[in-house]
């Protein structure tokens, strides 16, 4: 709604709002919330609502556990699936320390810092997300199964596509919450779906993606289904990606808007900045063991390359004009924290501009059908979470962005995850127990 504090207080008073959900994400991107009553809202705006941060994985220790949630009034949304009498609304929050300073583990604030740096350089990054997900049946006890909701394929229609009514409900719910879906369709995998958003500023894009995943899971549950954003839920079927479309605007002009294959020099440097830092950022774009089972098949990338239109590439430049001109990064998956992912992309791209990096030559061929000779010397995306973590751990770029404490906690948690997976006798069962419900 893009409201001010005064407008939020007035809205709550005039629209029978009885519960205000204060939402935030942990360092891994898992959304959390606490509900407060309307009488507590002025206090929340003024000084924040305290919570036990030692109970949030990756935040604080028990000996220093108090943090405060301060709602961002611009993010006010009604929850359309809740009753109209005694309404429920939600706002994303900034996370503050008792002295009012920003908490370094607040990844939403990390993205805000990236946006601010871009502004200081006279730029604005706009982002549009394409997010895929699966719909699965529930068993007789209401527990999720790995049985897809349908057997349809890419762009199929009903009755083969059984997900169109669920997608319709998701899109209408998002519209009621002030989020603009652009398109929706059945994807390649059985029970796999995709909904694309209109681009927006980076912070709104991350807020919207976090909201989208919540809406999808809630809507699926209301329809007797389980929605999964797991990158590779079915071993021999298409994985679910999170394609990130980015444009770069300066003085009101989209620098990606081009004639033919000629690019603006700052755009080229921006792209090369991202390509150079992909190995170091992959632990955050693809944060779970399951993420790496997706790479290299069903149009998921494997090599660090770029080209125009070509869907076998890591970065492609779609055939688009004007405000829709952009680059598309195809490696991230829906398990990532969008605030962290978008912040890293902006920082890497801006570094490319600052250092006047020269864009490497495009790989204008089908990487999935390429010969060993064609692929010789082309760098690959890290092929396991362990490898990605080791690269991130030794990266000066990554260390310059995260606080030492936050980075240490993130890497330690992910290394523990890798060790647990390696020790598991039944790897499929491990993924079901640790990932299927969570993602």
- Write the DSSP assignment of 98-140 as a string of letters: TTSPBPTT-HHHHHHHHHHHHHHTTEEEEEEEEEEEEEEEE-T
CA 91 from centre of chain: 18
Among 436, 435, 404, 438, CA closest to 420? 435
Among 416, 303, 418, 426, CA closest to 365? 303
pLDDT of residue 259: 61
pLDDT of residue 421: 95
First-to-last alpha carbon distance for the chain, in angstroms, is 28
pLDDT of residue 40: 95
- Report pLDDT digits (tens) over 228-268: 999 999 999 999 999 999 999 998 889 888 765 677 899 99
The CATH number of whichever domain residue 10 belongs to comes to 3.10.20.70
Model confidence at 273: pLDDT above 60: yes
State whether 53 and 93 are in the same domain.
Answer: yes
| Omega prior to 159 cis, within 30 of 0 | yes
Alpha helices in 16-106 (DSSP H): 41-47
Distance CA(226)–CA(135), nearest Å, equals 6
- % of the chain residues with pLDDT over 90: 81
State whether 259 and 288 are in the same domain.
Answer: yes
Place 311 in a pLDDT band, splitting at 50, 70 and 90: confident
Place 296 in a pLDDT band, splitting at 50, 70 and 90: confident
In a domain, 305, yes or no: yes
In a domain, 224, yes or no: yes
State whether 346 and 374 are in the same domain.
Answer: yes
Say which residues have a Cβ less than 8 Å from residue 309's Cβ, sequence separation at least 6.
316, 317, 318, 319
Residue 105 and residue 56 in contact, taking contact as beta carbons nearer than 8 Å: no
State whether 174 and 97 are in the same domain.
Answer: no
Distance CA(137)–CA(146), nearest Å, equals 7
Other residues' Cβ atoms within 10 Å of the Cβ of residue 52: 12
Residue 206 and residue 334 in contact, taking contact as beta carbons nearer than 8 Å: no
State whether 71 and 119 are in the same domain.
Answer: no
In a domain, 191, yes or no: yes
In a domain, 393, yes or no: yes
Residue 114, CA distances (Å) to 67, 107, 108, 226, 321 in order: 23, 11, 10, 35, 26
State whether 75 and 208 are in the same domain.
Answer: no
The H-or-E segment that residue 410 falls in is helix 404-423
The residue with tokens 């997976």 is: 421
Residue 93 and residue 70 in contact, taking contact as beta carbons nearer than 8 Å: yes
Mean pLDDT estimate for the chain:
93
Give the pair of three-digit tokens for residue 237. 């079927």
The H-or-E segment that residue 24 falls in is strand 17-25
Three-class secondary structure of residue 414 per DSSP: helix
How large is the average pLDDT for residues 139-162? 94
Distance CA(80)–CA(216), nearest Å, equals 13
State how many domains the chain has.
Answer: 2
Model confidence at 64: pLDDT above 80: no
State whether 242 and 205 are in the same domain.
Answer: yes
> For 358, which DSSP code?
P
Place 320 in a pLDDT band, splitting at 50, 70 and 90: confident
Among 148, 191, 233, CA closest to 428? 233
Model confidence at 172: pLDDT above 60: yes
In a domain, 216, yes or no: yes
Distance CA(146)–CA(383), nearest Å, equals 25
State whether 215 and 331 are in the same domain.
Answer: yes
- % of the chain residues with pLDDT over 70: 98
In a domain, 381, yes or no: yes
Looking at 103, 128, 146, which one is the last position of a domain? Answer: 103
State whether 175 and 267 are in the same domain.
Answer: yes
Distance CA(120)–CA(8), nearest Å, equals 30
- Report pLDDT digits (tens) over 87-145: 999 999 999 999 999 999 999 999 999 999 999 999 999 999 999 999 999 999 999 99
Distance CA(140)–CA(247), nearest Å, equals 47
**HSE-up (13 A, CA, CB side) for residue 145:** 11
Place 63 in a pLDDT band, splitting at 50, 70 and 90: low
Among 232, 189, 328, 233, CA closest to 271? 328
State whether 29 and 68 are in the same domain.
Answer: yes
In a domain, 362, yes or no: yes
Say which residues have a Cβ less than 8 Å from residue 36's Cβ, sequence separation at least 6.
19, 20, 22, 44, 49
Distance CA(62)–CA(64), nearest Å, equals 5
Q: Which residue has the higher pLDDT, 148 or 319?
A: 148
- Domain hosting 12: range is 5-103
In a domain, 108, yes or no: no
State whether 44 and 96 are in the same domain.
Answer: yes
How large is the average pLDDT for residues 351-365? 93
The CATH number of whichever domain residue 350 belongs to comes to 3.30.590.10
Looking at 38, 68, 103, which one is the last position of a domain? Answer: 103
The H-or-E segment that residue 197 falls in is strand 192-197
Among 417, 400, 246, 244, CA closest to 332? 244
Using the CB atoms, write b or e for 150-187: b if 16+ within 10 Å: bebeeebeeeebbbbebbebbbebbeebebebeebbbb
Looking at 80, 103, 126, which one is the last position of a domain? Answer: 103
State whether 57 and 98 are in the same domain.
Answer: yes
The predicted model scores a pTM of 0.95
Residue 67 and residue 60 in contact, taking contact as beta carbons nearer than 8 Å: yes
Model confidence at 290: pLDDT above 80: yes
């Amino acid at each position: 709604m893009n409201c001010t504090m005064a407008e939020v207080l007035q809205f709550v008073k005039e629209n029978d709002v009885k519960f205000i959900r204060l939402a935030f994400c942990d360092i891994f991107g898992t959304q959390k919330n606490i509900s407060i009553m309307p009488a507590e809202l002025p206090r929340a705006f003024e000084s924040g609502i305290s919570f036990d941060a030692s109970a949030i994985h990756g935040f604080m220790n028990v000996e220093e556990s108090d943090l405060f949630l301060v709602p961002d009034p611009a993010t006010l949304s009604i929850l359309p699936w809740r009753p109209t009498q005694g309404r429920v609304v939600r706002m994303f929050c900034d996370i503050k320390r008792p002295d009012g300073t920003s908490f370094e583990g607040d990844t939403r604030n990390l993205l805000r810092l990236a946006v601010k740096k871009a502004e200081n350089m006279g730029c604005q990054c706009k982002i549009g997300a394409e997010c895929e997900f699966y719909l699965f049946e529930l068993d007789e006890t209401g527990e999720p199964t790995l049985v897809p909701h349908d057997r349809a394929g890419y762009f199929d229609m009903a009755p083969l596509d059984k997900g169109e009514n669920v997608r319709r409900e998701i899109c209408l719910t998002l519209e009621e919450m002030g989020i603009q879906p652009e398109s929706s369709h059945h994807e390649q995998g059985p029970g796999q779906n995709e909904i694309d958003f209109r681009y927006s500023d980076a912070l709104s894009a991350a807020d919207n993606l976090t909201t989208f995943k919540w809406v999808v899971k809630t809507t699926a549950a209301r329809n007797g289904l389980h929605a999964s954003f797991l990158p590779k839920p079915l071993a021999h079927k298409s994985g679910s990606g999170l394609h990130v479309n980015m444009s770069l605007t300066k003085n009101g002009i989209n620098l990606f808007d081009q004639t033919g294959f000629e690019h603006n020099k700052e755009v080229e440097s921006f792209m090369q900045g991202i390509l150079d830092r992909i190995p170091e950022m992959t632990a955050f774009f693809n944060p779970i063991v399951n993420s790496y089972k997706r790479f290299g098949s069903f149009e998921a990338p494997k090599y660090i390359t770029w080209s125009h239109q070509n869907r076998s590439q890591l970065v492609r430049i779609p055939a688009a004009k004007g405000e829709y001109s952009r680059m598309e990064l195809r490696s991230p998956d829906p398990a990532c924290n969008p605030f962290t992912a978008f912040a890293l992309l902006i920082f890497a791209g801006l570094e490319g501009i600052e250092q006047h990096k020269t864009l490497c030559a495009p790989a204008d061929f089908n990487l999935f059908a390429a010969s060993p000779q064609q692929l010789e010397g082309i760098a690959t995306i890290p092929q396991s979470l362990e490898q990605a973590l080791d690269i991130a751990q030794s990266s000066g770029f990554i260390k310059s962005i995260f606080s030492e404490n936050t980075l240490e906690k993130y890497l330690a948690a992910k290394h523990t995850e890798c060790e647990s997976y390696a020790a598991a006798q039944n790897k499929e069962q491990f993924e079901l127990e640790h990932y299927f419900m969570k993602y």
